[in-house]
Chain A
């Protein structure tokens, strides 16, 4: 239920432009790995390569190897749709489907793929996912209401429920709290910590306190200048990165001296 992700000298391109250069790292299962770094350093680009979402943008491609429990995600006969079914994703801005009720939003991973299920099954999955996303108590009486009627924080937890309902191995969160207030942010952070008991969790964040609070491992990315590719500067246990980083750049960034 939770997979180890291995990146071997991964380069990410947008057409001819090299956006992220030569990233090698191992993302541990049942742990939270945080990607931090200044804007434009390629954190979001890199996280989108983990479930092959960056391919949605025309001209985007990857060189190098990405292994998930030893399986090559970019192998020649790999179907990106099948990869995405095992790697859930939560986006920066909450994006529940506006035409669907709360319940249908949770079940959307099944419904949109035309899979059939009994009513009892559907109810079980809905409850399990919403409980897992700490949203059940708030919405259990209005499951048939549209999901867009919820508050921003609730919508984001609904999106997390939607992602975990299909029981993926990995959950990717691309700045999941940057559009939320501190209380909703705390709820999402608690949730992320709970989620790591079952999933591999990767989170991109601009908030260094957030990374130090919840993550087990931290990867710091940086760019030398605009137009240049982003690089992985340092990747280590979170405590080490924040208290005693090896690289000067990392120390400058986490202590707030630049970026």
Chain B
């Protein structure tokens, strides 16, 4: 009786573990060899890697499926087929990302030196110079935008989640959704038009850039905070109410601390989202080659605009301008990466433990 039971659970034989990777490597090598042969036949000496990959992958998939189907049966063969499909999709998604990182790092590293971080572009033609003025501008403008957006965004989200009922809340939610989709150039035009009212046409000011960026940032902060506040369990609010804690103190001392990690991560992502904005800053903050620490007066350079102008207005020593543009792009990417790391650290240290 027991032997019968055992046999009803026994499946077909599994393929050995080494078979699948070995097949993969051998089919890619075979595909590569075939391409070499074909290339030596024809005129073109270069080997195109795309057909190598496609042919290698297809033949590998077919071979593994057939072998698996014969030895392991239909269910396991299908499983292997689907595994190959999702892995391929994942690799395809990874290619542009890795390629972008590789390009920016290799091209940016040429001018990623001390001078780049200590000099502005004032009186620099051709080689040398740096992006200190742009880094200062980016830090100041994004910083001011964050100072404006974070309190407004968090408080609006608190209103929506904790207080908002009925038509007003629905209207706010609707306009937040609309604002999320506002093109950045429109935000720049709006900030420019706003500042023209007060300072006259042709105004250029770092603060205007910060206003434009905060227009883009506020909806992102609201959305992120809203989601985080919503996942705070209602039981915690009730626990506080039952202790005779008024609503505003419950929000301030129970709901916000519980969701702090998520909100901080959301803010970092919002900053990362706007720090690379070019179009609105080009309009309202303008561009300059000189240092300007004052966001209330005159043109202010920022990193994305620095990259754009270096690339768009290449001077006599073309390579120097291109190198500076790539170094600016690399700096921007590193800032975004640092922001993401900070967000991860914050969520690690502030999230509720237990």
Contacts and interface: CB of A to CB of B under 8 A. Distances in A.
Contact of B235 (A85, A91, A148, A163): A91
B102 to A, nearest CB: 42
B243 A99 contact: no
B264 to A, nearest CB: 14
B249 to A, nearest CB: 6
Given A58-B165, A95-B233, A112-B249, A146 B352 contact: yes
B354 interface: yes
B75 interface: no
Contacts, number: 84
A112 B242 contact: no
B151 to A, nearest CB: 21
A113 interface: yes
Contacts of B297: none
Given A109-B244, A112-B253, A166-B244, A98 B354 contact: yes
Nearest to A92: B235
B105 interface: no
A96 B254 CA distance: 11
Interface string B335-354: 00000000000000000111
A95 B239 contact: yes
Contacts of A81: 244-246
A15 to B, nearest CB: 13
A93 B236 CA distance: 11
Nearest to A150: B354
Interface in A27-74: 51, 53, 56, 58
Interface string B313-354: 000000000000000000000000000000000000000111
Given A84-B242, A112-B254, 6 more contacts: A89-B242, A98-B236, A98-B354, A112-B253, A113-B246, A148-B352
18 contacts: A53-B238, A53-B242, A56-B241, A81-B245, A81-B246, A96-B239, A98-B354, A112-B240, A112-B243, A112-B250, A112-B253, A112-B254, A113-B243, A113-B249, A147-B354, A148-B354, A149-B354, A162-B239
